[in-house]
């Protein structure tokens, strides 16, 4: 087991068919930490209103997090838009898990980062919720098609993971512009507070990027790309992508939005 200072996770979407809780549990078996930050959309209440898909692997994840909290790891939950109902409980601890709206985390090297989900920077989610819900349904369809495509690729002997949802994001110019606008809004918020960077989620597009004099970090998701951010004992941040073969791909920094495919 590898020892790190902090683990940052977002967009797990428990309660959905697309949630890759099995891969997430395998990842957590390999990493011991002092802090676990759950940065929004951990539980997908939006999708659960339509149908609930709760698997034994998802139960295992919940049990792992509760066990980590009981054994002394600091576990903090920052609700996102899909689990926004939990925002009513900000400031309350459940089973040693803190629920907060946002948090300023100081890395081991002294740098200070704003932690929040990021839906605040998404104009569609904030002002046109019905469009966001429709987009969520379409995205879930793409993710479900990924499963069929992955099966066909394995049957044909093609190795490696390929993401239809990630491909769609990269090919659609407006989607890329949305990502850049989101990143710039996030960085602007951190700069206004005099911080060194921001760690967020929401757009399912993992990245560690230098933007001007600040660092933009996105945790990605555990629906499509299976990505997380870890903080090492020296304060350095690393993006980890966990694929279906349990191989770990490490990345220090990306020059473009790294929607892992």
The Cα–Cα gap between 54 and 101 comes to 26
Would residue 226 be called left, alpha or beta, if left means φ above 0 and alpha means ψ between -120 and 50 degrees? left
Q: Which CATH number fits domain 2-251: 3.60.21.10, 3.30.70.1060, 2.60.40.10, 3.30.70.20?
A: 3.60.21.10
> Roughly what angle, to the nearest 10 degrees, separates helices 56-70 and 21-30?
30
Q: Where are the domains of the chain?
A: 2-251
Which tokens sit at 195?
Answer: 């911080």
pLDDT for 200-214, tens place per residue?
A: 999 998 999 999 999
Instruction: State the pLDDT at residue 202.
Output: 93
User: Which residues of the chain fall short of a pLDDT of 50?
Assistant: 125, 127-132, 173, 260-261
> Roughly what angle, to the nearest 10 degrees, separates helices 164-171 and 129-155?
120
* CB 206 within 8 Å of CB 215: no
Instruction: State the pLDDT at residue 123.
Output: 61
Instruction: State the pLDDT at residue 161.
Output: 58
CB-based contacts of 112, cutoff 8 Å, min separation 6: 104, 105, 106, 195, 196
158, β-bridge pairs? none
3-class DSSP state for residue 191?
helix
Instruction: State the pLDDT at residue 154.
Output: 63
* CB 41 within 8 Å of CB 10: yes
3-class DSSP state for residue 108?
coil
* CB 76 within 8 Å of CB 103: yes
């Amino acid at each position: 087991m590898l020892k790190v200072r902090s683990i940052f996770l977002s967009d797990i979407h428990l309660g959905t068919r697309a949630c890759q809780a099995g891969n997430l549990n395998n990842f957590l078996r390999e990493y011991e930490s002092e802090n676990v930050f759950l940065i929004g959309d951990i539980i997908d209440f939006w999708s659960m209103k339509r149908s609930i898909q709760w698997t034994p692997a998802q139960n295992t994840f919940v049990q792992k997090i509760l066990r980590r909290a009981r054994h002394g790891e600091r576990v903090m939950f920052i609700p996102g838009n899909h689990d926004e109902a939990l925002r009513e409980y900000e400031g309350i601890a459940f089973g040693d898990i803190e629920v907060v709206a946002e948090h300023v985390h100081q890395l081991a090297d002294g740098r200070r980062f704003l932690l929040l989900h990021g839906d605040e920077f998404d104009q569609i989610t904030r002002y046109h919720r019905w469009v966001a819900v429709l987009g969520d349904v379409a995205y879930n369809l793409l993710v479900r098609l990924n499963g069929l495509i992955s099966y066909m690729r394995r049957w044909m002997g093609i190795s490696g993971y390929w993401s239809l949802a990630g491909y769609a994001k990269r090919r659609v110019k407006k989607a890329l512009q949305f990502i850049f606008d989101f990143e710039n809004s996030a960085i602007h918020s951190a700069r206004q507070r005099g911080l060194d960077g921001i760690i967020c989620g929401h757009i399912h597009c993992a990245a560690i990027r230098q933007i001007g004099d600040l660092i933009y970090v996105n945790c990605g998701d555990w629906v499509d790309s299976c990505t997380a951010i870890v903080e090492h004992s020296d304060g350095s941040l690393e993006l980890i992508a966990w694929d279906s073969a349990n191989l770990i791909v490490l990345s220090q920094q990306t020059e473009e939005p790294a929607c892992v495919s």
